[in-house]
Amino acid sequence: MTALLGARTATPLAGPLLYARSRAVPRALVVLLASAGLAVWAAHGLDAYVDPSRRVPVVALTPLFTSAVIGTSLYTASDELDRTAVRPWWRLRAVHLLTLSALTAGLLSLAVLGHPSVFGPPAMVRNTLGTTGLTAAAAALLGARLSWLPAFAYVSAVYVGAASAHGRLVTVWAWPMQPDGGAGAWAAAAAFVVGGGLYVVRGARP
Amino acid sequence: MTLVAERTHAPHPLRGEVVHGFGPWAGAAVLLTLAIALAASLDQWQGGWAETREQLHTAATLLGAPLALAAGCRHGGRERRRRTEELMASAARGPLARLLASALPLALWVVAGYAGAVVLAWLATWYCSMGDGPYPVAVLTDAVVLASAVLVGQVVGRLVAWRLAAPLLAVGAYAVLGVLSYDGQDALGHLSPVVDGTTDDVPVWWQPVAMTVWTGGLAVTAVMAHAARRRRFAVLPLAAAAAAGALLVQTDNAGLWHTGALADRQVCDTSTTPQICVNARYGDLLPQVTDALSGLTGRLEGVRNLPVRFEDRPGEPRRDEAQLPMLAPIGRSVVRGELTEPRRYAWEAGMALYGRAYCSVEETRDWDPVDNAVEHYLAPIPKQAYFDEQLAEGSAADRDRLEARLAARARLEAMGEAERRAWLSEYFATVDRCDGRGVPTL
Whether B43 sits inside 8 A of A164 (CB atoms) is yes
Q: Residue B153: which residues within 8 A CB-CB, separation 6 or more?
A: B68, B69, B70, B71, B72, B73, B74, B75, B76, B166, B169
Does residue A116 carry a pLDDT above 70?
no
Question: DSSP 3-state assignment of B203?
Answer: strand
Whether B164 sits inside 8 A of A31 (CB atoms) is yes
Across the interface, of B32, B41, B166, the residue whose CB is closest to A153 is B32
The pLDDT, as a whole number, for residue A1 is 41
Q: Residue B34: list chain A partners with CB under 8 A.
A: 157
Question: DSSP 3-state assignment of A47?
Answer: coil
Q: Residue B331: list chain A partners with CB under 8 A.
A: 164
Confidence of residue B339 (pLDDT cuts 50, 70, 90): very high
Q: By CA distance, what is A64's nearest residue in B? A: B171
Does residue A12 carry a pLDDT above 70?
no
Determine which of B163, B169, B177, B181 to mutate to test the interface with A (most A C-beta atoms within 10 Å).
B163
Q: Compute the nearest-CA separation of B202 from chain A (Å).
A: 22
DSSP H or E stretch at residue A113: none
The pLDDT, as a whole number, for residue A49 is 65
Across the interface, of B25, B33, B41, the residue whose CB is closest to A156 is B33
Q: Compute the nearest-CA separation of B25 from chain A (Å).
A: 10
Q: How far apart are CA B49 and CA B136, in angstroms?
A: 11
Determine which of B25, B30, B33 to mutate to test the interface with A (most A C-beta atoms within 10 Å).
B33
Give chain A's end-to-end CA distance (angstroms, integer). 31
For B170-182, what is the mean pLDDT?
Answer: 83
**More confidently predicted of A136 and B432:** A136
Q: DSSP letter string over A123-155?
A: HHHHHHHHHHHHHHHHHHHT-GGGTHHHHHHHH
For A88-111, what is the mean pLDDT?
Answer: 92
Taking the CA atoms of B428, B431, B433 and B438 in sequence, report the sign of the dihedral they define.
positive
Q: Where are the alpha helices (DSSP H) in B183-313?
A: 206-227, 235-250, 253-256, 286-292, 294-299
Say if CB B233 and CB B224 are below 8 A apart.
yes
Question: DSSP 3-state assignment of B268?
Answer: strand
Question: DSSP 3-state assignment of A35?
Answer: helix
For B68-84, what is the mean pLDDT?
Answer: 91
Q: How far apart are CA B189 and CA B182, in angstroms?
A: 8
Residues above pLDDT 70, as percent of chain B: 97
Q: Where are the alpha helices (DSSP H) in A23-55?
A: 25-45
Question: A41 to each of A47, A110, A177, B25, B394, how far by Cα in Å?
Answer: 11, 11, 20, 35, 54
- Rounding to the nearest 10 degrees, give the CA dihedral for residues B288, B292, B296, B299: 80
Whether A158 sits inside 8 A of B37 (CB atoms) is yes
Say if CB B256 and CB B203 are below 8 A apart.
yes
Q: How far apart are CA B131 and CA A47, in angstroms?
A: 43
Does residue A32 carry a pLDDT above 70?
yes
The pLDDT, as a whole number, for residue A48 is 64
Q: Compute the nearest-CA separation of B163 from chain A (Å).
A: 7
Q: How far apart are CA B140 and CA B193, in angstroms?
A: 12
Question: B272 to each of B287, B301, B309, B365, B427, how far by Cα in Å?
Answer: 12, 8, 9, 32, 20
For B276-288, what is the mean pLDDT?
Answer: 93
The vertex-B156 CA angle with B153 and B159, nearest 5°, equals: 155
Task: Write down the ipTM of this complex.
Answer: 0.81
Q: How far apart are CA B123 and CA B130, in angstroms?
A: 13
The vertex-B17 CA angle with B15 and B23, nearest 5°, equals: 120
The pLDDT, as a whole number, for residue B419 is 93
The pLDDT, as a whole number, for residue B233 is 92
The pLDDT, as a whole number, for residue B363 is 72
Say if CB B22 and CB B71 are below 8 A apart.
yes
Across the interface, of B32, B41, B174, the residue whose CB is closest to A161 is B41
Q: Compute the nearest-CA separation of A15 from chain B (Å).
A: 24
The two beta strands, B338-339 and B334-335, are: antiparallel
Look up residue B402 and give its DSSP letter.
H
The two beta strands, B266-269 and B257-259, are: unpaired
Look up residue B440 and give its DSSP letter.
P
The pLDDT, as a whole number, for residue A119 is 82
The pLDDT, as a whole number, for residue A50 is 67
Question: DSSP 3-state assignment of B321?
Answer: strand
Whether B66 sits inside 8 A of A57 (CB atoms) is no
C-alpha count within 13 angstroms, C-beta hemisphere, residue B278: 20
For A129-134, what is the mean pLDDT?
Answer: 95
β-sheet bridge partners, residue A71: none
β-sheet bridge partners, residue B269: B276
Say if CB B102 and CB B153 are below 8 A apart.
no
Q: Compute the nearest-CA separation of A69 from chain B (Å).
A: 7
Whether B167 sits inside 8 A of A148 (CB atoms) is yes
